[in-house]
Amino acid sequence: MITAKFYDIQGFSVHDGPGIRLTCFMKGCPLRCAWCHSPESQAFPTELNFMEVKCVGVEACGRCLDACPNGAIAKGAAKTSPKGEEITLISVDRDKCTDCGACADACYAKALYMCGTDWTVDDLLERILRERPFFESSGGGVTFSGGEVLSQPEFLLEILKRCKNENIHTAVDTTGFAPWSVIEPILPYTDLFLYDLKNIDSDLHKAGTGVPNELILENARKIADAGGKMMIRIPTMPGYNDSVEAFDKLGAFIKSLGNAVETVQLLPYHTLGKVKWERLGRAAPPFETEAPSDELMNARKTQLEGFGLNVIIH
């Protein structure tokens, strides 16, 4: 039985392809983007998260202290509750934690929770089909996102086939960092690729993501040559890829893909994902800056439109 691990499934998504969509987020990614807004998507195994704001304190609960078999949960810092009471939070020793989930099972406030759930193809298809009325009324469908969906290729191919058998519009949101032997089989079952382009300069791409971009650019060309349709997505980070020069290179490359590119979507950098790093007990993301101004985003939109591209800002 084929299974894959997902960290979230979101209904009523309207930015991940046409119409109202169900977006299924697979866990695991070979890239390590310095600005990552979803650090829970990076590792492949299920992981423990701690949402401090939900913790009611060891005085009112504390069941996780006894539940942890490894002594990874201990009393932590004090804070003042919304009622003005002094409560003691818990802390997680990540060196001792094995992500077994015992503490999360014991936490009735759901301050501790496990991120990463295994799904079978049959179960996920059943979940997808529940959204069919919304798909049909809006021209929507299902989007497989990540993490990097191409890192779980066997499952992805099978669920795409099953969706197409049900006449459901499919989109694959990908970094493009995978062998062509993984991408080629899914082409007949993918109506739209949401394809990330972060930087045309390979050295800068590697500095920002941990991997070079030659394979990514080559796969984009092959998808275009094979007749695939793409929405190019550009996460726009001040000080990394927001310059006129960087967007000239991006625009020229995207233009070279011809009619395969239906839309270019600009994604302004934001800091909303910073709290997710804290939930995993990690330091802040390596790349932090101010969000780009509306003026800059509109200027880059106009710049790409000068290449004859259809451009939107998320």
Q: Which domains does the chain have, with CATH numbers?
A: 3-45+117-313 (3.20.20.70), 47-115 (3.30.70.20)
CB 73 within 8 A of CB 65: yes
Reading phi first (left if > 0) and then psi (alpha if -120 to 50, else beta), residue 302 is in alpha
234 vs 242: CA distance, rounded Å: 10
Question: How many residues are given for the chain?
Answer: 314
Q: Which residue, chain included where needed, has tokens 């991006």?
A: 250
Inter-helix orientation angle 121-129/153-165, to 10° = 40
pLDDT of residue 79: 85
- Residue 189: other Cβ atoms inside 10 A: 18
Residue 195 has which token pair? 């394809």
Strand partners, 254: none
Give strand ranges (E) for the chain: 3-13, 21-26, 47-50, 73-80, 86-92, 112-115, 117-120, 141-145, 169-174, 192-196, 230-236, 261-268, 311-313
CB 172 within 8 A of CB 156: yes
List Cβ neighbours of 262 (8 Å cut-off, separation of 6 or more). Answer: 192, 229, 230, 231, 310
Over the chain (314 residues), what is each successive 10-residue block's mean pLDDT? 95 94 98 93 96 91 94 90 84 94 95 96 98 97 97 98 98 98 98 97 96 98 98 95 96 98 95 85 82 95 97 93
Q: What is the DSSP secondary structure assignment for residue 274, as one 8-state letter? A: H
Question: Around 155, how many Cα atoms within 13 Å sit in the side-chain half-sphere?
Answer: 25
pLDDT of residue 273: 77
Beta strands 3-13 and 117-120 are antiparallel
| pTM for this prediction | 0.93
Containing 103, the helix (H) or strand (E) segment is helix 102-106
pLDDT of residue 81: 76
CB 165 within 8 A of CB 128: no
Beta strands 141-145 and 230-236 are unpaired
pLDDT of residue 140: 98
pLDDT of residue 184: 98
pLDDT of residue 290: 85
67 vs 72: CA distance, rounded Å: 10
Q: What is the DSSP secondary structure assignment for residue 207, as one 8-state letter? A: H
34 vs 36: CA distance, rounded Å: 6
59 vs 83: CA distance, rounded Å: 14
Of residues 213, 230, 235, the one with CA closest to residue 300? 235
